[in-house]
Every structure is written in C-alpha cells, then in structure tokens.
Structure 1
Amino acid sequence: MSTSPSENSRPVRVANCSGYHVLMSKGDPACEMYRQATLGDVDFITGDYLAEVNMANNAQAFQRGEHPGYEQTAWDGIQQTIDVIAEKGIKVVLNGGALNPKGLALKVHELIQQKGFALRVAYLSGDDLYTKFGPNMPQSAEQLQHLDAENNSVKPGPLTYAFTNTTKPVPMVSAHAYLGARGIVDGLRRGADIIICGRVADASPVIAAAWYWHSWSESDYDRLAGSLVAGHLIECSAYVTGGNFAGFDRHPVDTFIEPGFPIAEIDADGSCVVVKHPGTGGMIDVDTVRCQLLYELQGNVYLNSDVSAILDDIIVEEVGKDRICPPPTTKLAVFYPGGFEGQVLLNATGYASTEKWDLIERQLRHFITKESLDQIDTLEFQRIGVPAPNPGSQRQSTTYLRIFIAAVKADAVLAVGRAMKDISLKHFSGFHSSLDMRTAVPRPFLAYYPAVVKQDDLNEKINFIDTPNSITSFPTGHPPVYKALQPRASYNHSLSSEEVALLQSRTQSIRLGDIALARSGDKGSNLNFGIFVPDANHWSWLRSYMSVERMREMLVTDDNWDESFLVERVEFPHIHAVHFVIYGILGRGVSSSSRLDGFGKGFADYVRDKVVEVPVEILN
C-alpha cells in the first residue's frame, strides 16, 4: 500500500508492465499490468509503449480522425486493473497517451467516475512540436540540427538530409521532443494518482516515481542518476528478467518461456535492486542485469532530460558514483514521408551460389533502365547465408538474396520487378523464389530524422481533469541549470607488459560467445554493442583484445561497412564490459534502414559467433 512521501524511509517499489508496442503487433499484453498489480505489493506501475516510430505510424490517421492517438494496450491494461489500483493505492505513470494523452486521460477519468473511485487523473503535454517545426521539413540542415551534428568525427550518410535535396517541400508527419520526469513529479505532488504521458524518455516515469517518493530536489543529481539507471534496467519489458538474454542457452530452456516482468526497488540514495514477483518465470542474476545495462547506450554517459549518468564506475550491485546535471537540449524525433520501399527474396541452391548471385545482380543492373536507376535512392543486393558443405538436405544447401529498394517514387521501386520479368528464363540454374517475391510491391515508409531542441524552448504542462469540460493546467518549468554536452569519450585500453605477453602467448581458437555475453541495439542510425565476460579471469584479455581496430577488423567484410563509419569505444571495468558505438551503420535508422537487422538486435550474437584466439592459460 502506498504512503505519502513524508512517511517513506523504505525503497519505492516500481513495477514496469510494458516495454514496447510496434506496428503489426500489440506488444506486451495488457494483462501484464494486472499481473504486476496483483501478484505482490508495489507502489507504482509504469509502462513504456512507444518505440521511435509508433507515434509517426499513427499520426496521419489521428489527424484524419481515423485513430484515437493513444495506445490501445495501455487503455486495456487500465480497464483490467483499475479496481486493484484503487484498492491498493497504486500510482500509475504511462506513456501510452502517445499522440493523444488528453484523449486517454479523459477515458480513464470517465472510467473512474463510473466506478465511483476517488482517483485524480492528469496528463502531460508539451512534447508535440509539430506546429513549431512543421508542417514541412526545413530546406536546410541548419534549421533543425541533427542529433550528431556537433560531433565533427561523424560523417552524415548520403540520405541523412534527403529532405533538403528536393524542389518541393517535404511534409513533416510528426515531431515529438523527449520530456523528462519533472512534469510527472509536479503532477504527483499536486495529487495525481494516474498520469498519462505522450513522448517522455523511456526511464522518465521510473525517475519520477523515485523522485516523488523520496522527496528529492531537482538538483539531487546523484540520486536522480541512480533512478535513471534503475529506469533503464526495467523499462524494456522482460529484457532484464531473461528476455533477449545472450546466456539463455546456459540454463534450462523452460526458464525463459514466460519471463516475469521486473520491479525496481529504489532506495533514498538512488541505488536499486531489481526483482520480480515470486513464482514468475525468467531469472534475474548479474548477467541478465549486465546485458540490459549495456543495451542501447551511447557510450559512457547516459543522457536524460533531468540528469546525465556517468557510467564508467558502475557496478551491478549498486549504481554509479559520478553523475552530472542535465544537458541543455533534449532529443526531438522527427518523421517525414521517405518515399517507397520494397524487397525481393530469391533462392539459390548449393553449387556455385556465389557465381549465381553475381549473375543475377549483373542481370538486374543491366535490365533496370538508367532513368529508373537514377531515381532509386537505395538498391542493395544482400546475400544471406552460406550453403552447408556436403549438405544433408536441400534446405541446408539453400541461401537467399535480399534485394532491397527504396525511392521517392513508387514507379522506381517497381522497376526492379519489371527487370525481373525481363530476365524471365534467362536466370541462373536452379533459380526459385519464396512467397515473399510479392513484397516487391512498393510500400510507403517514414524516414526518421533525430534532432535536438533546447529544453528552455519547451512549454511543458501537467493538466488535471476536473470534469470532461474542465481542465486545470500548471506549467512545470525547466531545469535550473544545465551542463553543455561534451565530446563522447573513446579510447583503447593501454596494454601493460603482462597483457602484451598474454596476447603473445599460446592460444586456442574458440568462438567469442563461448566466454563472453553481449547485447546490441539501435539509437537511430547508430548501432551500440556491449560485450562482457562473466568470468573475471577473462577480463584482462577481453579489454586488451576488443580494441577499436579489432572491431573495425571484424566489420570490414560486412556488406554494409563503410570506412567513413566512426567507431567509439569505452570500458566499464567493474562489470568487465567493453562498449562500442558504430555511427551510421544503420543508415537513416528506425523505419528507414535498409539493413536486414535494421534495429541491430542480432549484431551481438553475430560478433559472438566469430572465432577468436584466446590464451590457453586463461581458459585453463
């Protein structure tokens, strides 16, 4: 049962019930909110329903009145759980309001009135900046600064500023700034029981819960940074309890069939313990926590609108010790119509597969007209798989070619399909295709542009619903002080004489994943990858071996590799981890990436599958 902040000396228990919702999928089921509320006592329930592209996918339909604007799963969860929320006094903070937090808040208010509960509902506003920056994309890059523009080492990809290369204005679909926790805290202090947000940073609801519970000030940066790490650990659904866990194969497979959702117990000093309700599936140990900690970082500084956490000295048992005040800017996610994209999947079996793919690529480039080629932005021939030697079945012998096409005009995408008809029966021996041949039909896609906006320019408000026709609003202000962003750290480990000798000693060939676990993901066009060794005896070798040069060496054979990509590297020695950011390798990122693994989720296991030379003495 919740109590008022002045009575609280114990840690606050914050239970997360959702980590995503993507197009064509409902994401985490609504019943997880009910489970978090009923399987044990918690003080707060938070939910993250917004991936980068969620809001943009529904923006035009919402503007036409064809979509409610909020996430249906969030509404379903509240409907299922409202009785328990009222009975136990659980406070709820969700970003499921998406494009229309007011609309969802009104529905929740109506439900509460029907039930006769004495609960107050509020919603956060100020993230939607479409009217400020739209309705069209700017005609110059200077008008809307790119997120990585101040990093002089990062070279923008050829399509980063595609919207500036047209004679006609490109319409903007959506523009939403990432808000922090301060507005949520203001609402909680004014008596809100349920707060509906639109675009807030993933960890912000968790930060707000701890900030409010422990009555922190807005300059308690050390404590706020601890809650930022706690929010990062639990906001991704079951990722910290066994989902997406690189070490799953080292445990009974039944452990991971239905992982329970996480709870962060955040103490007054900002440190936290991650738990889950007894009897639920999955597992929480130092390795699942380390995997999630390394997920979607951008180096050693974790940025948030309220605070930045410096992670260099972080350990799993407690949060990091060095933290700083917030940056003066926050992220602005902008989407605009990128044109049309399509793909063709072709199969080849066994013998001479490399030559077969050489032939089909040469044929298609020959038969696609020059006029169409000039209009195509992206045309990639991605070879997927390697035929098994001496195969035991045709499936083991089969690989496929993924032809990815993107262009402003649909007809340019269709040109690839027309060229396939021209090839007709001129193809290589054994040519065949799967049902996915039909996806050569162009489909529109949204292009992603990550920008920055000054926090002082935001007009954030917390809005209380008194009646459906009466709303009381309060400006939530801005952080009192900022610290300007600094260039990101990047360095190799300085080898000692003992480590040099270790690298030169007798080695054994093993797969990297035999001794290391990892997690990878995306931040726009950038791929982030963290790798660590569970055995401390392997740490000296890992930090010495996994240099910037080694990572580039591992990637030079990648079809997407370009020498202009910047690789940054930092270390987290107390958790025996090395972390990399590879700038630009995901193209425009999110909905705009041509990469087969467009969100970089599988990259970690790709690297773990590489054969490396490890000193025999540390293996023994």
Structure 2
Amino acid sequence: MGSVRRAVRIANCSGAVPDPGDLMYNQAKYGPVDVITGDYLAEINLGNDAEAFATGTHEGWIPTAWDGLCQSIELIAEKRIKVVINGGALNPKGLAEKTQRELVQAKGLDLTVAYVHGDDLMYKVHDLLSRDEAGGLPHLDKDNTNVKLEKDTDVFLDHPDTMPIVSANAYLGMRAIKQGLDEGADIIICGRVADASPVIGAAAWWHGWKETDYNELAGALIAGHLIECSSYITGANYAGFFKHDIPELLDLGLPIAEVEANGDCVVTKHEALNGFVNADTVKCQLLYELQGTIYLNSDVKADVKHVRVEDESKDRVRVSGVTGAPPPSTTKLAVFYKGGWQCELLINATGYATKQKYDLQEAQLRRMLKLWGILDKFDVLDFQYIGRPESNPSCQLASTTYLRIFAQATDKDVIAKVLPAWAYNTMQHFAGFHLTRDLRTATPRPFLGFYPAIISQSELEESVNILPRGSSGDTTKQHVVGPPKSTEALQPREDYDSTNAVDLASFGETVMAPLGDIALGRSGDKGANVNCGLFVPAQEDQTGEKWDWLRSIMTKAQMRKMIGRDWKEWYHIERCEMPEMRAVHFVVYGPLGRGVSSSKILDALGKGFAEFIRDVHVPIPRKFLKT
C-alpha cells in the first residue's frame, strides 16, 4: 500500500430530510475537511415520494440536499472537498445532472459530478416475488426461528391489486462510491445506499483499501454509523443532556470522523461550532439501531463486541477495537406498499376517575361501530391511554391526559365511519370531556406498509456514472461494480444473560430508584423491532462495580418485567454485552408492528423506549446513589 496516509477527515452534513443546507456549508467553512457526507434518507422517504415521482409531480431528490450544494459549491471547489451524499433519493441522476448544469457549469467550477445507480428494483420486484425456488422475497427476520411477525406483515403479497408495491430499494454498499472517487469524481450523488456507505467509500478511496481489508472497512463502517445521524453525537438525542446548560444544546454543530489507515477513528467537530463530543455521546450513538454485536453492511460485517470508546481530549473521542469479516451475500431491500387507510383522534380527560372516563369513551365508540356492522372490518382499532394525571395536581394541565384512538383498515369507507361513530355520542360524553378543535386527523388518510426483505447481492446492477464536464461529444462514463468477491454466511446473533453474574445481594442495601440514575442509553427502530443499549459511564465507575451490577441485574427476564404492560407474549428478546463499553444491549422483536410507516404505537421510531426503561425503578445499591 506504500506509505501510510494521515487520517481522512470526513464531515457529516445531514442525518434526515429536515437538516438544512447551511449545515453542509458550515462543515465546509469552519475547518479543514477532506470529504463531506450526508445521510438524508430514513426508510420511509422513498416510499412517501415514490408515487409523486412516478407521476412527475416530485423531483425525486431531497430539496435540503440541493440547498446544501447551492450554498456550499464554491467552497467545495475552492477547498477541493469531496462530497458523497444520498440526497439523490429516487432520482440521483436528476440531482447530479442539475448540480452539473446549474452549479458546476454555470459557475465555471473545476468539479466532476457522478451518480450511483442500481438501488431502485421496482422494475424487477414482481419477478423476484414470483420466484418460488428462491422463496420469493424472504423477510429480514426469516431465519430467526424465535421471531414471530406482526399480523398482516406480508398480507400485501396476496393482494397485489389493492395493496400495490410503490417502491423497492436495495441498500447499496461502498463499492460504486469508491470506484467513482478513484475515477476522479468530486461530487457523488447516491440514492438508497446504506447510511454508512459514503463514509466507508470515502475512507477506502483515501487509504487505498482493498475489498478484503475487512478490519479496516469494519472500522470505517462504525465511523459512518457514528456520524450518520447528524447532531446525535454532538449533544442531540443524548440521555445525559440534563447535565448540560441549555445554551450548550442550541444550534449544534455536526460531527467529523477522522478515519485512520487501520480503520480506527477519532470523532470530533469543528471548534467554532456549538455542541460537544465525549465518550458518552459516542457510546449512545454507537448503541443506536444495533441488532447485537454484529453490524452489517453489504461490504463487511463489523464485530463491535470489544469496541473501545475513550476520551482523547476535549471534543475528541477515539474509537478502536472493531474487527471485520466478509459481508453476507445478501442485502436489505426496503419494500413499501399501499397498506390502506388510517385515522386517529385525541380526546382529553381531566382529573378524577380518568380510567373510567376512557373506558366509557371506548365502549361508546365500539358500540356504534358494532351497530353499524363494521367493528370486525378494522385491521387495527386501538385505544391508547397517554400519560397519568398528577396526584393532587398543581394546575389543570398537570391533571390532564389524553386518549389516542388509532384505526387502520384496507377499506376507506370503514375508516370514514370512525368520526361519525364518535360524533353520534358527542353529547353523551364523560365528565369534563374536551379535545382539540381540529379534527382533521380523524378523517381517512392513506398509509404505506413496510416490508424489509433480503435479496442476493448478485441481483443488483450497481454502477457509478461520471457525467461529462461539458466538452462537445463527451458522454457519461459508466463503471459497473459487481457483488462482493467473497461473502460469508450469517451466524445466529449472540443471545445470553451474563454467565458470571454477581450476586445482587453482595452490593448491599438497595433503594428503589430509576435505572437512569446509574445508566445512560439509546434506542431506535429496526423494522418491526426496537433495540436498546444501556451503559454505565466509565468516569462514574472507576472500580467497575456499577458495571458488574448493571450486567447482573439487566437480564432478559428483568427487561421483560420493566416493559410491563406493554409486553406481549409473542415478542422475543435477545441480549448481549459489550464489556469494554460497559454496555448491555437488547433487541425486542415485535413492538413496532409492520414498521414505522404503519406502526400503531405513538413511539413508532422506538426513540423513546430507552428513556422509558431508564425511568423504571429498580433496586439500586444505596452506595451507588448520590446522597
């Protein structure tokens, strides 16, 4: 490989569609960076925009990504910064051509623009479904025999006319990105590449890694995972935020990963921008949306069981200990389909006998729907009691909670009956009934169902396409990349309680207190499932005693107990540990139903789950608590 290059400085500029264009500009302006990457896509983006794009009423790409390029293009050219973003969404070619025409050529800039093609499989998804010998499109969790899927998870397969597929996008890896950078591209517009793929591709290009440099690629995969979510690592969505003053949490700058030649990285940020990076913010983000100790990408498997996260200096955190292995032969295919219709209605109750008030409201609505002969036509009719009133309330709002009535059905006319059925009993309401005056959420609106499938990487026709720079006769140069040369079958995920648990009685007298008094954590969604990672901050556990206690008390049975009334017998829990991080990690299979776009629960992204678990009281050794 020759001499070892310095670490490549890769700056993230987005973690979701709303992140504004000035974040890209800030990353280019406020300090040296070699590459800017951006992750604009959540799973639902492509499905939401697919129909409008197909009919020509949507550009297909992400407006905030275009805004970022407009604001930053001259700085990018001046500083020779490479840009790799997935803001092309459904139309990476369109955004690339617009960037080339309206920014690069119009301004006379010395930049080469490219786009990655091959994630959109709508043209062949029905063919894939019809292949009986391949089992059609198997669900992501098909090989986990302990997992039961939500009712109607694959119902769309039997109703292609009434529940048609609207988008099918494969999660691409880094191979086309690296090829494009090797060919001299300065700006690469991607569609549905995996969230960390731009970072892996940039690091592999910079350091000249081969496809089989699995330890290095795995380190870059985790670096990409750490910075992909915008400010989630610089102070946002941070369980320990309450330890900081509010001004520290405003107008947060975005992160930078300095990826070294061996794949280790240092996470940091521009000094001029607000926010903070420390070992705890990094651990929280590392634990986000995992499925155990093996993190998958179509280029590499990353083993994070023994990952180390250590403060190096102010706003600089070193991440090491990640090892790699060949990738699986498959990749994820996000399929969205027309799921039917849904509505919801929020009803408030104040004060005395709240539960009985909500029981009455539910009985009234169910009675009318039954009288009208449609109660059994709902796929979902759920009554969710949100909050609990304060005892001896200090004000009326402290005594007020709400009931969320949520309904789904394939028939629009069925959903349209919910509001009239409720209105029929409007004046027979419980004592003190009130609600918002805006009832638009109670009218039918379409929703998309989500089906996470897996497909063979050999089904992909992935390429990077280098646009001509404007010379007469030049044409787009296409470079096709094939599937990985080496793959390795997936093994069952690690799932165990501690084999050397410490007797909890040995920690002495206990006090019932929130788990969050000891542990930080984060949770997120993976299809129908919620992950939750909990850890003891190292600086608060010099002896390791708190870690011994956490791993000993937080068993799978304890997690089920803490989930409380939300637990369903068909759910399944997996548990593993990351000892160097002093972390226990859980995956709870099932709570999100058919996934974020059609989940009936309020926390459809699973982001609040860890904070709920941290708020549950457990017997904590008195000596661990501040007096």
On whether the aligned pair clears a TM of 0.5, the verdict is yes
Asked if residue 573 in structure 1 is aligned to residue 576 in structure 2, the reply is no
Per-residue deviation, 1:138: 6.5
The residue aligned with 1:171 is: 164
1: CA distance, partners of 2:3 / 2:377: 66
Matched-pair contact (CA < 8 Å) for 1:387–1:399 = yes
Match of 1:443 in 2: 445
What residue in structure 2 maps to residue 547 of structure 1?
555
Cα distance in 2, alignment partners of residues 301 and 72 from structure 1: 34
Q: Distance in 2 between matches of 1:45 and 1:7?
A: 24
Q: 1:9 maps to what in 2?
A: 5
1:306 and 1:479 in contact (8 A); partners too: yes
Q: Distance in 1 between matches of 2:189 and 2:202?
A: 14
SS in 2 for 1:156: coil
Deviation of 1:390 after TM superposition, in Å, equals 0.8
Map Cα deviations across residues 65-121 of structure 1 (whole Å, 9 max, x no partner). Answer: 111111111111111111111111111101011111110110111121122222111
Q: Which residue identity is paired with 1:12?
A: V
- C-alpha distance in 2, partners of 1:167/1:179? 26
Q: 2:615 aligns with which of 596, 603, 609?
A: 609
Cα gap change, 1:436 to 1:603, in 2 (>3 Å): farther
Structure 2 contact 214–323 (Cα < 8 Å) conserved: no
Q: Residue 494 of structure 1: CA displacement?
A: 2.2
1:83 to 74, 78, 82: 74
Matched, 1:472 2:440: no
Q: Which amino acid aligns with 1:453?
A: I
Q: What amino acid is the match of 2:48? A: N
2:489 aligned with 1:484? yes
| Amino acid of the structure 2 residue aligned with 1:37 | A
Query: 2:362 is matched with which residue?
Result: 361
Aligned length: 607
Residues 194-231 of structure 1, C-alpha deviations (whole Å, 9 max, x = no match): 11100000000001111010001110000000001100
Once residues 538 and 399 of structure 1 are traced to their aligned partners in structure 2, the CA distance between those partners, rounded to angstroms, is 36
CA–CA separation in structure 2 for the residues paired with 1:222 and 1:280: 32
Cα gap change, 1:273 to 1:165, in 2 (>3 Å) = same
CA distance in 1, matches of 2:67, 2:160: 45
Query: Which position in structure 2 is the counterpart of 1:515?
Result: 518
Hey, what's the Cα distance between the residues in 2 that align with 1:68 and 1:487? 41
Q: Separation in 1 of the partners of 2:127 and 2:601?
A: 29
Aligned to 1:272: 265
Change in Cα spacing, 1:477 to 1:165, as seen in structure 2 (3 Å) is closer
Instruction: Tell me what 1:67 maps to.
Output: 58
Q: Distance in 1 between matches of 2:611 and 2:438?
A: 26
SS at match of 1:127: coil
Match of 2:144, as an amino acid?
Answer: N
Indicate if the aligned counterparts of 2:114 and 2:464 stay in contact, CA closer than 8 A.
yes
Write out per-residue CA displacement over residues 508-549 of structure 1, whole angstroms, 9 at most, x where no aligned residue. 122111111111110111101111111233111100011100
Q: Which residue of 2 aligns with 1:404?
A: 406
Q: What amino acid is the match of 1:147?
A: L
TM, length-normalised to structure 1: 0.95
Q: Which amino acid aligns with 1:349?
A: T
Taking a change above 3 Å as real, the CA distance of residues 13 and 383 of structure 1, as seen in their structure-2 partners, is: same
Q: Is 1:113 the counterpart of 2:110 in the alignment?
A: no
Q: Give the secondary-structure state (helix, strand or coil) at the position aligned to 2:177.
A: helix
Gapped runs of 5+ residues in structure 1?
Answer: 22-26
Q: Deviations over 1:176-204 (max 9, x none)?
A: 00000011001111111111100000000
CA displacement 1:578-605 (0-9 Å, x = unmatched):
1111111101111111101110111111
**Aligned counterpart, 1:24:** none
Counterpart of 1:332 in structure 2 is 333
Shift of 1:9: 1.6
1:123 is aligned to: 115
What secondary structure, in the 3-state scheme, does the structure 1 residue paired with 2:466 have?
Answer: strand
1:271–1:126 distance in 2 versus 1, CA, 3 Å: same
1:159 CA displacement: 1.9
Secondary structure of the structure 2 residue equivalent to 1:596: coil
Residues 10-19 or 462-471, more deviating: 462-471
Q: Deviations over 1:119-139 (max 9, x none)?
A: 111110010100111499779
| Alignment partner, residue 431 of structure 2 | 429
Residue number in structure 1 paired with 2:457: 455
Q: Quote the Cα distance in structure 1 between the aligned partners of 2:207 and 2:526.
A: 31
Contact 1:257–1:282 (8 Å) recurs in 2 = yes
Is 2:278 the partner of 1:285? yes
1:47 equivalent to 2:38? Answer yes
Distance in 2, matches of 1:53 and 1:284, equals 29
Q: Which moved more, 1:432-441 or 1:349-358?
A: 432-441
Displacement after TM superposition at 1:436 (Å):
4.6
- Tell me the equivalent position of 1:37: 28
The answer on whether the counterparts of 2:504 and 2:549 sit within 8 Å (CA) in structure 1 is no
Report how far residue 467 of structure 1 moved.
Answer: 5.7
Q: Which residue, 167, 177, 186 being the options, matches 2:179?
A: 186
Corresponding residue for residue 565 of structure 2: 557
How large is the Cα RMSD of the aligned pairs?
Answer: 1.8
Q: Which residue of 2 aligns with 1:595?
A: 601
Q: Counterpart amino acid of 1:502? A: S
Q: 1-side partners of 2:128 and 2:82: how far apart?
A: 39
Deviates more, 1:519-528 or 1:409-418: 409-418
Task: Report SS of the residue matched to 2:478.
Answer: strand
Say whether the 8 Å CA contact 2:306–2:578 is kept in structure 1: yes
**What whole-Å deviation, never above 9, does each CA across 1:38-80 have from its counterpart, x for those lacking one?**
1011000001110101111111111111111111111111111
CA shift for structure 1 position 618: 3.7
Query: What SS does the aligned partner of 1:238 have?
Result: helix
CA distance in 2 between partners of 1:254 and 1:113 (Å)? 42
Report 1:494-513 matches (<5 A): 494-496=499-501, 498-502=502-506, 505-513=508-516
Q: Residues of 2 paired with 1:377 and 1:508: CA distance?
A: 44
Q: C-alpha separation between the residues in 2 aligned to 1:135 and 1:439?
A: 37
Tell me how far apart the structure 2 counterparts of residues 13 and 495 of structure 1 sit (CA, whole Å).
41
AA in 1 matched with 2:460:
L
Question: 1:541 and 1:242 mapped to 2: Cα distance?
Answer: 27
Shift of 1:572: 0.8
Deviation per CA, 1:222-267, whole angstroms, max 9, x where unpaired?
0000001100000100111111111010122211111111000011
8 Å CA contact 1:518, 1:529 repeated in 2: yes
**CA deviations over 1:296-344 (Å, ceiling 9, x no partner):** 1111110001001111101103323432110110000000011111101
Change (3 A) 1:138 1:382: farther
What residue identity is the alignment partner of 1:101? Answer: P
